[in-house]
């Protein structure tokens, strides 16, 4: 029997989230289980996921976690949550879709003005 070495209880779920990639581009993923300290993410190709990245848990950017990859499988990554952003920083970024259907983050003020 495999011994569970996790420090925090994991909760099974299926929740859409977004990875913030280079150039503030967003890439969708599925959060398949999570705890207070980390999560398992289902992705198309784990090789394209950087070693550290921001994970958006809400489409408006209000819930974010800085993540560090601790293991990889072909279509999954295990991440450790590094830290939370300050409340002010969380509220200032908004996902925006451009004319080419690319999703990126922009400051809330710029997104509201459509710049």
Across 7-11, 43-47, 98-102, least confident range? 98-102
| Cβ atoms of residues 96 and 56 within 8 Å | no
Burial 39-63 (b: 16+ CB within 10 A, else e): bbbbbeebeebeeebbbbbeeebee
Three-state SS sequence of 74-114: CCEEEEEEEEECCHHHHCCEEEEECCCCCEEEEEHHHHHHC
Report pTM.
0.67
- Percent of the chain scored above 70 by pLDDT? 62
- Where do the structural domains in the chain lie, given as residue ranges? 11-113
If one compares 90 and 65, the residue with the highest pLDDT of the two is 65
Asked if 40 contacts 29 with a C-beta cutoff of 8 angstroms, the reply is: no
CATH number of the domain located at residue range(s) 11-113 in this protein: 2.40.10.220
């Amino acid at each position: 029997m495999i011994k569970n070495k996790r420090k925090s209880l994991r909760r099974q779920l299926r929740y859409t989230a977004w990875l913030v990639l280079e150039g503030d581009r967003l890439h969708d993923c599925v959060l398949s289980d999570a705890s207070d300290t980390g999560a398992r993410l289902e992705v198309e190709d784990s090789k394209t996921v950087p070693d550290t990245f921001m994970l958006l848990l809400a489409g408006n950017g209000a819930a974010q976690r800085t993540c560090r990859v601790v293991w990889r499988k072909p279509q999954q990554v295990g991440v450790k949550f590094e830290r939370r952003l300050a409340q002010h920083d969380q509220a200032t970024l908004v996902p925006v879709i451009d004319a080419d259907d690319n999703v990126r983050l922009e400051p809330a003020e710029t997104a509201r003005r459509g710049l």
